[in-house]
Structure 1
């Protein structure tokens, strides 16, 4: 006996309803999964942003602490009332070894944060202990007149020889820096000195930090710049177009820099470094007594420092955030100030250096 037409229609309607219900459930599940994923992503982004801001606050706090230490050391005076020379026995020269942040928070009994441990470290380096590459140029008060100083090129050649780098890099860096300076001046005289529009277009960009030295020469790789970092600096022009020589601090400079700037051999420079370890040099005349037969070049050596580099590093597992700040200390007695000149920032996986 055949089924009636209404019965077959009812079966088809039930099947369609079931299919529709399954489609609706699938759509709802998809929307719900999307909403959950978006909520999870928003939480992760907010957590990462909060962690980044907290890391920045910690590094800013470390910078402020370093500035305070530099101020306090700068206020020290000798028996005669003269400011104490800058030397490596002062508090600023003591590195902050890597420490767990939980160590600082241990006094907080309500702190129950079970997040992974973060580690903070830092140091302050004397930039006046390094040779300033700006010394390579003679900048005239007349705009557009920039020349390479052959005497300073010789100093840089000697320094590169002392640190086992090709000495021929010195004149190449000097010439590239001259062209970059002329292009940055952007005056009629500098335009003419570069040889017109084509010369200005071919001039390298003016580097503002040591890492940017690779802009000057194609052969100057990042690895070479890192080898140079402990011995050279690139301080900002404060009195362009007058320029001027930045002296090194004989109380803090490494032997390679002292030998190149003073014009002596590294063995003699090493003896000077050993001598200052027992007692720092109070003035340039006292340092001159170490090598009386070789006069110190004019304005090349001093016993105080103005420029320092503050490095703060925050590590969380294999992720790090590193800040470098160039600061300048000026003034005397109670009027000393430490201002930030520029900063560099690195964030990512620990490169292992």
Structure 2
């Protein structure tokens, strides 16, 4: 009896050790399984995101090519019919594409097989005339001097927008210094928000956003598309005269600077270096909504004759297009 009583604690210890070992084994297996499952989920998510990114890039690239085709055909049609070259808000390129299912575009092509996934893809976009805005590149001449005429126009624009006129001088000096180069000079800005390098405040940049931009070279302002504040600042006229021109071009776009002069009702000093009725630079915006992801792209294209080339592209979370059409 004494011998059996002494053996029980040993058997209990063996059973406890076996149970502990089994629990550790189960814990280790569960940990490894959870780690493998998480790794597999992570790989699937990465592959899904990469596939969505590539698909979005291809679709937005196709939308950009479509926009280039519209701009090219608009110019080609005018040349083939011997019409006066003009760009205005009544032309097809100026009509924005409202958000629509991608499947609706694919269904129009009999050579395409519509994928059911396309029902969850929505595309929208717009083309705007980049020469409708105040080009800050105009502030500096080809000899790297500040253009006093354009500086005065920018000061008038700042006054209309309730901005300090000193901001115009700051922008002009910054553009001149950056274009001159040198060790202490900043890079030449290509986007409006980059004039913050000159010390321009963020509120000023946000206020100028619907009315100013930076183009690769000096350009004239298109009187057929410019918003009222830009018209008034460029022409040096009152807001009422600028509004009169905006109303007149709605009924009949200007085919020449003489047409704008006749509609103004006041004497204007118009010349091809400052004003125009045609444009060579356009901004293209595309927005793709793919399931839960939203990808936006903005591009600047330049048109020379019937050739349309992309000058720069950027993709990501972008600001909405300028709402300057409200004051047109």
> Residue deviations 1:152-184, cap 9 Å, x none?
11010111222333222111110122122223x
Query: How many angstroms does 1:260 deviate by?
Result: 1.5
Aligned match of 2:222: 249
**1:110 deviation in Å?**
6.8
Change in Cα spacing, 1:346 to 1:226, as seen in structure 2 (3 Å) is farther
Indicate the residue corresponding to 1:227 in structure 2. 207
Q: Which position in structure 1 is the counterpart of 2:137?
A: 134
Deviation per CA, 1:191-238: give whole Å up to 9, x if none: xxxxxxxxx43x433212122122221x420x432321222120124x
Aligned to 2:20: 19
Say if 1:319 and 1:347, in contact at 8 Å, map to a contact too.
Answer: no
Residue in structure 1 matched with residue 193 of structure 2 by the alignment? 211
Unaligned runs of 5+ in 1: 141-145, 187-199, 238-244
Q: Structure 1 pair 104/293, CA: closer, same or farther in 2 (3 Å)?
A: closer
Q: Is the 8 A contact 2:220 2:273 kept in 1?
A: yes
2:41 aligns to what? 40
CA distance in 2, matches of 1:47, 1:133: 42
Aligned match of 2:286? 312
Shift of 1:281: 1.4
Q: What residue is the counterpart of 1:156 in the other structure?
A: 154
Secondary structure in 2 matching 1:340: strand
Find the counterpart in structure 1 of residue 99 from structure 2.
Answer: 98
Question: Is the Cα contact below 8 Å between 1:319 and 1:348 reproduced in 2?
Answer: no
Aligned to 2:326: none
Cα distance in 1, alignment partners of residues 316 and 20 from structure 2? 56
Give, in whole Å, the separation in 2 of the partners of 1:110 and 1:160: 51
Per-residue Cα deviation, 1:315-335 (whole angstroms, up to 9, x for no partner)? 35775221110000112xxxx
Q: How many residues align?
A: 317
Note the residue ranges of structure 2 that are not aligned, 5 or more in a row: 324-328
Partner of 1:271: 244
1:318–1:350 contact (8 Å) kept in structure 2: no
2:328 aligned with 1:342, yes or no? no
1:123-167 Cα deviation digits (max 9, x unpaired): 000011111101111232xxxxx2222221101011122233322
Aligned partners of 1:283 and 1:302 also within 8 Å? yes
Higher helix share: 2
Q: Structure 1 residues 320, 70: closer, same or farther in 2, change over 3 A? A: same
Offset, 1:67: 0.7
Q: TM-score, normalised on structure 2?
A: 0.86
C-alpha spacing 1:181/1:70, structure 2 compared with 1 (3 Å): same
1:282 lines up with 2:255 in the alignment: yes
What secondary structure, in the 3-state scheme, does the structure 2 residue paired with 1:122 have?
strand
Does the 8 Å contact 1:126/1:305 carry over to 2?
yes
SS of match in other structure, 2:145: strand
